[in-house]
Structure 1
Amino acid sequence: MNRFNKFVEFLEKKLLPIVEKMEGQVHLQAIKNSMLALLPVTIIGSFTLVAVNLAQVFQNTFYANFVSSYELEIMTLFNFSMGLMGLFTALFVSYNLSRSYDMYTIGDCLNGLVMYLILNSSVTESGIDMTYLDSKGMFTGIFVAIISVEISRELKEKNFIIKMPEGVPDMVSKNFELIIPLIVNSLVFLSIRILIFKLTGSLVPEIILSIMKPLSIGLNNVFGVMLLVFLIQLLWWFGIHGDATLGPIFLPVALQNITENAAAYAQGKPIPHVFTETFLSNFLLMSGSGITVGLLILMLFSKSKRYKELGKISLLPAVFGINEPITFGTPIVYNPILFIPYVIGPTLITLPIYKIFESGIVERAFIQSPGYTPFFLQGYLMNLSFKSTILQILILILSVLIYYPFFKVMEKDELKNEVDIKDSDGDK
């Protein structure tokens, strides 16, 4: 136990200051908030695929004939939601970063969109080339939004803007203030596009994708995902929202992957990626971080009154993937007894779960299932396969087995405390 305490002290000293800086870092927060805001876009695109897929289930029906006749029109919803993820990323990150600086958000969003199109698209005889406007352009969208907003902020702080006289309506004044930042940004990003193409023969998004490739590779193999799960659980054990803190790192990759999976499914191609946000939340963090559904079930059958009541209170939120009541009510935070099942357990479970999806035993996700949906339903919706639900049941059983010996140690101590309290009340 002494060694464990030293380990905890070491992590507190080295890890927590880094996490605190990340939580306060304005660019990372803008990215995280933007990725979360993009989830409804992926849900719309995903359920467009569901609508088309159902036609294959109900063949020779009015519905199937309708979808067959208007499939191109229906898929327009997919093409202009998940098919424009890069464009939306530039818009949302521009908005969130501008808002954090208390700047003119509408103007900065316009700036970000224009600069993104300058870097990411080309005009052809048939119109605008949209190759890099989808998920392949998400990292470019982040880059463009941050740089364009920072340029605008610097110009504003240096008063290098057009200021209108007093009495001019505020909207008119702000639009004139936007002119010089828009011109400067246009010159900067157009120069970047020309310079990169002259030097490499490639567009900027191709270069950024190659730079970000190590991150994508890291989260598209089992050991990278195991590390991510370990860090999420470790932060939660310290009382820090692990998935929210690390969201700026993994969410761009996760959303890019689900978009590419959906596009591959729509085209009848093999689904390329195991790691997606819905894979993470529905299996590796099922019922909430730490897969605490096993601990909750043990509490429901506990001899301890406190644990049994806590299990009842935590049951409904856990079904919808919310486990803060059990995390802080047990408490799990800073609890040395639960460190192994809560932090190490999900990390080790990640290996077989990932391999099951990688091997094709269970189909990979191509749908972004809605958040705060009962986890068994979420698991089914991500790939329209009951194999996912069966796997979740197996994870639930495994979670009970992992937590069981550690919970029994806690329960024994809690029962002793309850007896002592009862005896103390009797003496009075």
Structure 2
Amino acid sequence: MESIKSFFEKFQMIMEEKIVPVASRISSQRHLAALRDGLTILIPFTVIGGIALMIANPPVDLETIQPTNFFFQFLIAWKNWATDWSALLSIPNNLTIGIISIYVVLGVSYRLAKTYQMEAFANCLTALFVFLCVAGVPQSLTDGNYINISGLGSSSMFAAIVVGLVVIEINHFLIIKNIKISMPQSVPPMVAGPFEVLLPLAINMLLFIGLDQFIIYLTGSGFVNLVFTVFSPLISATSSLPSMLFIVSLTVIFWFFGIHGDNMVSAITTPIFTGNLVANLEAYNAGKDIPNIIAGNFTFIFGLAICYLAILFHMNFVCKNKRLRSLGRLAIPSSLFNINEPLVFGVPTVLNILTFIPSLICTIFNVAVAYGATYYGLMGKTCMSVPWTLPAPLYAFLSTMDWRAMLVWLFLFIVNVLVFLPFMKSYNKQLDLEETMNKE
């Protein structure tokens, strides 16, 4: 026991000497700090959206559950109620997480404008307008024009970040060079102010619309989908272990840079995983050997889901920082039901090297161990379609119909908690130092 404690203490010292200074430099860089602080603004929206999503998607499948006891009767009643009121229940999620990129571009541009001591409100509205020019182009229908909000969700976060930063940089450059429409001194400031914003607005609009059209000409897809267009050939792979380890690693890397990693890979992997799940279910019903190890949500439940819950555990039971503790309590309901946006934007895990390193290590380790445990018969293969909002340990059990899968999941969770321990303690210390400096 003493040797383990000594190891963690030595590792903690290495972290504080080597990694924490790098993390501090990253967090203090103007643009990265604006990104971090801009995403922090999203916390209340993600919490509200996550809770609404959890209520609207109860963890129950009416085709497999029977009202044999009070608890199952409650779940069935909840599911029926959520189905009847789905339109109303979906409003908070559709207008928070569903259009999260709008809040991202506003938050990031606002924070960066503040660091330059620019008029923050006018500049963040400029950034929002420019973002809508490439991500929310109105579509003509028979009874009017509509904006498809699917282009404003988490899949467009990276584009929102780029627009938010670049627009403010262009506006700042124009201010430094005094390039603006000047009104006579006799014109009141309230009247002259909007005209000063007009030129930066027009320049940014033309620049991004032109860039968007050029990218469409080259790739067939616009600026918002550029990252997916570039990386989709790399993601196209089979469901073998090496390809899955590559894909889950890429997912973690995407999340680190503010790109919705799951959305990035799902267009390629979902048909493969769904097909594998259907084949497994048919084999299970026929009493035959189940063919596929990786199926359904295997890589998430035995991958990033464990990492997020390990982070949540540390926020509630290890970290002493008041901000992390408060967010940890708020994030419990949504995180338990696999809705992790409050952690992604609240901690945040975006551009946070102290959560990225253990997340990458643990995700690769988790998927590899779960794959090996399944391959060698230590737990059953995924063969059941289970609601994605079911808490991850229960999901592991019900999707495989094997209690050993839950034990494998719990073992991986304990390992993840240990791996995250020095990183989260270092992050806790970094936040305390930053808060002390801000008070001074």
TM range (shorter): 0.5 to 0.7
Q: Which residue of 2 aligns with 1:209?
A: 228
Residue by residue, what CA displacement relative to the aligned partner does 1:91-150 show, whole Å, maximum 9, x if unpaired? 222112112222111111111111111112333223223342212211111111111111
Q: How much does 1:23 deviate?
A: 2.9
Q: How much does 1:201 deviate?
A: 2.8
Are 1:137 and 2:156 matched, yes or no? yes
Distance in 2, matches of 1:346 and 1:280, equals 6
Which stretches in structure 2 are left out of the alignment for 5+ residues?
1-10, 63-71, 237-242, 275-295, 330-355, 375-380, 398-404, 421-440
Where 2:151 maps in the other structure, the secondary structure is: coil
Distance in 1, matches of 2:75 and 2:313, equals 39
Where 1:132 maps in the other structure, the secondary structure is: helix
Q: Which residue of 1 aligns with 2:54?
A: 50
One-letter amino acid of the structure 1 residue matched with residue 223 of structure 2: V
Distance in 1, matches of 2:263 and 2:394, equals 15
Cα 1:167/1:211, change in 2 over 3 Å: farther
Q: How much does 1:258 deviate?
A: 7.9
Q: Which residue of 2 aligns with 1:97?
A: 112
RMSD: 5.4
Preserved CA contact (<8 Å) 1:112 1:145: yes
One-letter amino acid of the structure 2 residue matched with residue 50 of structure 1: M
Cα 1:201/1:23, change in 2 over 3 Å: same
**Correspondent of 1:252 among 237, 242, 258:** 258
Bigger Cα Rg: 1
Preserved CA contact (<8 Å) 2:307 2:362: no
> Normalising to structure 2: TM-score of the pair?
0.54
One-letter amino acid of the structure 2 residue matched with residue 281 of structure 1: Y
Residue by residue, what CA displacement relative to the aligned partner does 1:358-386 show, whole Å, maximum 9, x if unpaired? 7776999966xxxxxxxxxxxx8678759
Q: Which residue of 2 aligns with 1:180?
A: 199
Residue by residue, what CA displacement relative to the aligned partner does 1:50-91 show, whole Å, maximum 9, x if unpaired? 212338665698765543332123223322222212222222
Where 1:202 maps in the other structure, the secondary structure is: coil
Distance in 2, matches of 1:199 and 1:351, equals 35
**Correspondent of 1:85 among 76, 82, 100:** 100
Distance in 2, matches of 1:35 and 1:124, equals 29
Preserved CA contact (<8 Å) 2:393 2:406: no
Distance in 1, matches of 2:134 and 2:114, equals 24
Preserved CA contact (<8 Å) 2:130 2:205: yes
| Matched ranges for 1:411-422 at <5 A | none
Where 1:274 maps in the other structure, the secondary structure is: helix
* Count of matched residue positions in the alignment of Structure 1 and Structure 2: 319
Higher relative contact order (CA 8 A, sep 6+): 2
Where 1:125 maps in the other structure, the secondary structure is: strand
Distance in 2, matches of 1:172 and 1:273, equals 57
One-letter amino acid of the structure 2 residue matched with residue 130 of structure 1: I
Preserved CA contact (<8 Å) 1:95 1:105: yes
Distance in 1, matches of 2:75 and 2:413, equals 39
**Correspondent of 1:112 among 115, 119, 127:** 127
One-letter amino acid of the structure 1 residue matched with residue 87 of structure 2: L
Q: How much does 1:393 deviate?
A: 5.3
Where 1:29 maps in the other structure, the secondary structure is: helix
Which stretches in structure 1 are left out of the alignment for 5+ residues?
1-6, 230-245, 297-312, 323-342, 368-379, 404-428
Q: Which residue of 2 aligns with 1:147?
A: 166
> Normalising to structure 1: TM-score of the pair?
0.55
Q: How much does 1:346 deviate?
A: 8.8
Q: How much does 1:205 deviate?
A: 1.6
Distance in 1, matches of 2:170 and 2:32, equals 18
Q: State the identity %.
A: 24
One-letter amino acid of the structure 1 residue matched with residue 101 of structure 2: G
